[in-house]
Structure 1
Amino acid sequence: MTSLDRARTVAEARESGSAWLRSAGVPTAEADAELLIGHVLGLSRGGVQAAAVTGAALNDRARSELVEAFSRRARREPLQHITGSAAFRSLELQVGPGVFVPRPETESVTQLALDVLAEVPGTPRAVDLGTGSGAIALALANEVPHAEVWAVENSPRAFVWTRRNFRALGTPTSHLVFADLADALPELDGTVDVVVSNPPYIPLAAVPRDPEVRLFDPAHALYGGTDGLDVVRRLSATARRLLRPGGTLVIEHGEQQAAAIAELLAHDGWRAIATHQDLLHRDRATSALR
């Protein structure tokens, strides 16, 4: 029995749950504890904090559900798998086993694509290759509602989640396609303004340190061959086919890959190749012109 089994109030649950997660090596134990309690009780994080201050009580059902939720998180299952949702820009996406959990870093990559779309007159076109949960495509479609956006995914397990998110958050001008990115959307060849992707880019030998990534994110969304760039090479070819002259490619990548990707793109004939940093000043994305 853990001390959480004996918690009688929200404050006690927060204290004992935080301690449990800290002992399991969870780096954001206090925040995760409040989010898990909020998930079980139907409260915001601020609501959990208020309930702790006011001495709100826990019933047996809630305590049992909390023990199960904290047990899963202590095994380093991603918080988003337990709550079933992941925040991305203004969206709440449904996620779970089989789909990559979107990261905050990808929000800034999405902004690069949004900035390009905002400058295109008329009805701009964007394609998100390897969309996963649909995060990038749905952000583009919701934030630039006059744009036409296509999302492409080829993993059956991930596509379950993509379809759910498109049903909940899709717009009249957003389109979901099950296809391999190498063959996707030939009917759009030469007409797209922006191609954006967060492809699998981790080299096979570079196993991620975080258990949440190593044990729970799908390998299909993580690993990109020996040097991590196998999918990027296919992405470059597909983007050149899809984009109009002057169209923009935006690729997310690892912080050590900017030079290799710039060289790859230059070899393929891309122009105006530029590296972009994330909020922690790490090389996070590369853009280029067709």
Structure 2
Amino acid sequence: MTERRELLAAATAQLRAAGVASPEHDAAELLAHVLGTSRSHLALVDVVTPSTAEEYAGLVDRRARREPLQHLTGVAWFRHVELAVGPGVFVPRPETELLAGWAIERAAEGSVVVDLCTGSGAIAKAVKDEVPGAEVHAVELDESAYAWAERNLAGTGVDLRQGDFATAFDDLAGTVDVITCNPPYVPLEAWESVAPEARDHDPHLALFSGADGLDAIRVLEHRAGVLLRPGGVVGFEHADVQGESAPAVFAGSGRWVDVRDHRDLAGRPRHTTARLAR
């Protein structure tokens, strides 16, 4: 038998040495996972059996090699919903919850909401969860990511389709009230600066978007103009260095009003919103 505190201390030190950003949190989450409990209940555990300690050590080793925590536990929480995640799908980030919250505040009973580049289905599932009367649609191109979205959105009432967001939802043209999108936005030249958890484990289709990182946002600007009703709104995430260049894509087209950029909880530019001119 090994003491819980001893296990946690060793795992935390290993993860810190490996450059993991939140070693205490991740060490505790992994231990709670192998014990089948929650992090808040770990204090009730005094000792850990050898077999459990061995399983735990294996997961800590993988996390130290920078496998995403959520791939190891198989679960990611996003606002009030639980998502199944793993290899082949972008792990939703806490920053994106702000974009989802913006959409939820603007959706109402009967609103038509479209989530482009849905990935795991995180935003679409959160909107449907918090605004159950909304008509929610989502699209994903990548086959692996689509399979995860299909799993996460099963039974929710969200209309999920597989396809390219540049051409999706012709049947909804001119009728959509709210569009959300977490597009790829990393410049190809920024490869080395991307955290290993994302660079080595998230699908590249969800990360990289041309030389300046704005290619998908330019496509979004055009597609949102087709899908939204006059006065409808669009919100999309971008990199923190794109606080001026991303909104400029919309402001420069002449089709949009109320183009605004928004900061995340760390004060960094994170998402842009705009309204289609009437």
What range describes the TM-score normalised by the shorter chain of this pair? over 0.9
Letter in 1 for 2:26: D
Give the aligned length.
274
Cα drift, residue 115 of structure 1? 1.4
Q: Within 5 Å, give how 1:160-239 maps onto structure 2.
A: 160-167=147-154, 170-172=155-157, 174-207=158-191, 208-239=193-224
Deviations along 1:94-134, one digit per CA (max 9) or x if unpaired, are 1111110000100011111111114xxx5001000000000
Letter in 1 for 2:178: V
Structure 1 residues 261 and 27: CA distance shift in structure 2, 3 A: closer
Letter in 1 for 2:92: P
Q: Give the 3-state SS of the residue equivalent to 1:199 in structure 2.
A: coil
Deviations along 1:182-233, one digit per CA (max 9) or x if unpaired, are 1101000111000110100011101234211221111111001011011111
Which residue, 225, 234, 237 being the options, matches 1:252? Answer: 237
Matched, 1:130 2:130: no
Letter in 1 for 2:116: L
Q: C-alpha separation between the residues in 2 aligned to 1:36 and 1:284?
A: 29
- The corresponding residue for 1:274 is 260
Letter in 2 for 1:255: D
Q: Can you give the 5+ residue segments of structure 1 that lack an aligned partner in the other structure? A: 1-6
Q: C-alpha separation between the residues in 1 aligned to 2:247 and 2:42?
A: 47
Matched, 1:10 2:4: yes
Structure 1 residues 90 and 63: CA distance shift in structure 2, 3 A: same
- The corresponding residue for 1:152 is 139
Matched, 1:106 2:96: yes
Cα drift, residue 49 of structure 1? 2.6
Cα drift, residue 17 of structure 1? 1.3
Native 8 Å contact 1:137 1:150 kept in 2: yes
Deviations along 1:231-268, one digit per CA (max 9) or x if unpaired, are 11111111111100000010111122132222211232
Native 8 Å contact 1:34 1:49 kept in 2: no
User: More displaced, 143-152 or 208-217?
Assistant: 208-217
Matched, 1:283 2:277: no
Q: Give the 3-state SS of the residue equivalent to 1:128 in structure 2.
A: strand
Q: Give the 3-state SS of the residue equivalent to 2:48 in structure 1.
A: coil
Q: Can you give the 5+ residue segments of structure 2 that lack an aligned partner in the other structure? A: none
Native 8 Å contact 1:38 1:45 kept in 2: yes
- The corresponding residue for 2:13 is 19
- The corresponding residue for 1:81 is 71
Letter in 2 for 1:270: W
Give the root-mean-square deviation of aligned CA atoms.
Answer: 1.3
Native 8 Å contact 1:97 1:216 kept in 2: yes
